Amino acid sequence: MQQIRSQVTERDGLFELEAGSDVLDSPRYNHDMAPTKVRERTWNKWHITALWVGMSICVPTYTLGGVLTAYFGLTVGEALLAILFANVIVLIPLTLNAFPGTKYGIPFPVLLRSSFGILGSNVPCLIRALVACGWFGIQTMFGGLAIHLFLGSVFEGWKSLGGTGEVIGFMIFWALNLWVVIRGAESIKWLETLSAPLLVAVGIGLLVWAMPNVSMTELLAIPPKRPEGASVVSYFAAGLTAMVGFWATLSLNIPDFSRYAKSQKDQILGQIFGLPLTMFLFASLGVIMTAASVKLVGVTVSDPVSLIGHIQSPVWVAVAMALIIIATLSTNTAANIVSPTNDFQNIAPKVINRTKAVLLTGLVGLLLMGHELLKKLGLIVSDVSLETVYSNWLLGYSSLLGPIAGIMVVDYFLIKKQQLDLAGLYRDDVYPAWNWAGFLAFGVPVVLTLLSLGSDAFSWFYSYGWFTGSALGGIIYYGLCVMRAQPSVVKSAV
């Protein structure tokens, strides 16, 4: 006989929901969005470390140093410091927002129901989902190019396909990503654990190949591309904001992964071990490889896929491309598909299950890359480059996501005092449908950011968007909640 009321139990600080008909019959619940059982929380600190190694070692990370030197006017040394500092900074919201995921076993969209409302949570969810779908398309483009070069190294005739071969590679890689995520969290855990040591080996191999062809002294002495005599502070701060923006998305939806952690200690140590150093070292490798590329292959090449494609040995190209494919797959599945899959389910959990949500994510990502794919097929001509879109996104979207991160942290730690009504997050009778405090706290920083684009005096508000947005969003949210005397503690079980 099915119990009517849900029960919440605690085991060593981890909460578990025994769902009754009040939750099972709710339109806000499905099996994929349900809190993980304690027995399902199997990821230890090394699994989470592997997750971050797998996500960090990717083509965009490799190109970060070049982005900071070319677009943000930093020297190589300044660029690498900005990357290191940014990833230490982003550890703070990553770790804090991971706490409720580990404690209650809930994914990102369900956690947002506390701060934005049961229905209102869909707004920040869809903002996050759209960004992830865009990144999914960009990463799939890199993965598709790797597949094209791999097939070209194995089958001589494949090279003649040119852009068409790249589009075919894109579609193969696109399908492979969707297949991994449809198989579930254990499949992702297995992929990340397997790929992490392989990716470290690839980085070491590339470094050994490049180091004899580059002088670190000369590299660090290259003058910055900014006006002579200009203060480094504003340029460094803008670059730092952009680098924080690189993982601004994951600082929101980290509960999608921390819900599988064995303990808070595991999620904290795993993130500390896996993120800052990996990002710094692989971005450093990108700077070194780009500098060495002239001597290695005769031209300056800023991404590893194209660089390896210049190698004359088909065997080494095939091996390297296979590893690049694994690297991009491990990043794309975890960083860019898991979140929108949960976000789309949150719209209508009874209608959209995980498989449908994964396919929807794939479709949106495909449409967002439609312009680039048509260019490769020769059907349109355009000067808009993928690199330009990529570098502009880093700063732009971080300004939008910062307030959400601040609101989430303040809501959980200061307003709710780390106490959530677990069953109530899946029903309509505990939390409001729309929490207008969350929307006001989100809207004000976003409006100010947009207004600052047209004002030289307030351009700093946009340039430092993640920091200004997260701080202002959190402060406004706290003030609004205190003003309306919202109860600070909600019963943990009903």
Say if residues 74 and 294 touch (Cβ distance below 8 Å).
no
What is the structure's pLDDT at 492?
46
- Identity of residue 188: I
Q: For position 351, which CATH number holds? A: 1.10.4160.10
Per-residue pLDDT of the chain (494 residues; tens, 9 = 90+): 456 889 999 998 999 999 999 999 999 999 999 999 999 999 999 999 999 988 888 878 888 887 788 778 888 889 899 999 999 999 999 999 999 999 999 999 999 999 999 999 999 999 889 888 888 888 898 899 889 988 988 888 898 898 899 999 999 999 999 999 998 877 888 888 878 887 788 788 878 878 888 888 888 888 888 888 788 888 888 888 888 878 888 999 999 999 999 999 999 999 999 999 999 988 888 888 887 887 777 777 777 777 777 777 788 778 878 888 888 888 888 888 999 999 999 999 999 999 999 999 999 999 988 888 998 898 887 776 665 665 566 456 656 788 999 999 999 999 999 999 999 999 999 999 999 999 999 999 988 887 887 777 777 777 777 888 899 999 999 999 999 865 545 544 44
Residue 368, SS3? Answer: helix
Q: Any residues with CB less than 8 A from the CB of 20 and at least 6 apart, and which?
A: 2, 3, 4, 5, 6, 7, 423
Q: Which helix (H) or strand (E) holds 40?
A: none
Q: CB–CB of 282/200 below 8 Å? A: no
Q: How far apart are CA 374 and CA 431, in angstroms?
A: 46
The answer to whether 243 and 83 have CB atoms below 8 angstroms apart is yes
DSSP state of 28: T
Q: What is the CA angle 205-324-130, rounded to 5? A: 135
Tokens of 293: 């590329």
Are the C-beta atoms of residues 141 and 73 closer than 8 Å to each other? no
Q: What is the dihedral of CA 270, 275, 278, 284, to 10 degrees?
A: -170
pLDDT at residue 387, as a whole number: 58
**E strand spans, 322-404:** none
Q: Are 210 and 292 in contact (CB under 8 A)?
A: yes
Domain presence at residue 113? yes
Beta strands in 252-386 (DSSP E): none
In degrees and rounded to multiples of 5, residue 485 shows phi and psi of 55, 50
* H/E stretch holding 26: none
Residue 147 placed within a domain? yes
d(CA 341, CA 30): 13
Total number of domains in the chain: 1
Tokens (6 digits) for 151: 């097939």
Domain presence at residue 390 = no
pLDDT at 386 (0 to 100): 63
393 burial level (CB within 10 Å; 0-12, 13-18, 19+): middle
Q: Which domain holds residue 351?
A: 43-378
The reported pLDDT for the residue numbered 493 is 45
Q: Does any domain span residue 66?
A: yes
Does a structural domain hold residue 74? yes
Nearest one of 266, 200, 203 to 46, comparing CA atoms: 266
DSSP state of 223: P
Nearest to 41 by CA among 276, 266, 331: 266
Contact 271, 88 (CB under 8 A): no
Task: Give domain status of residue 291, yes or no.
Answer: yes
Helix (H) or strand (E) holding 35: none
Q: Quote the CA–CA distance of 459 and 452 in Å, as a whole number.
A: 5
Dihedral of CA 122/123/126/131: which sign?
Answer: negative
461 in a structural domain: no
Task: Give the count of alpha carbons within 13 A of 458, CB side only.
Answer: 12
Q: How far is CA 76 from the centre of its chain?
A: 24
- For 20-40, letters b (16+ CB in 10 Å) and e give eebbeebebbbebbbbbebee
Residue 370 and residue 137: Cα distance in Å, rounded? Answer: 9
Rg for the chain, CA atoms, rounded = 23
d(CA 360, CA 366): 10
**Nearest by Cα to 253 from 416, 413, 57, 121:** 121
- Specify the DSSP element, H or E, that contains 263: none
Select from 418, 417, 412, 408 the least CA-distant residue to 438: 408
Spatial separation of the C-alpha atoms in residues 477 and 238, rounded to whole Å: 25
In a domain, 104, yes or no: yes
Best CA proximity match to 85, nearest among 469, 389, 467, 463: 467
Inter-residue long-range contacts of 305-314, CB under 8 Å, 24+ positions, other chains counted: 305/59, 305/142, 305/145, 305/146, 305/149, 306/145, 308/149, 309/149, 314/153, 314/154
**CA contacts within 13 A on the Cβ side of 122:** 12
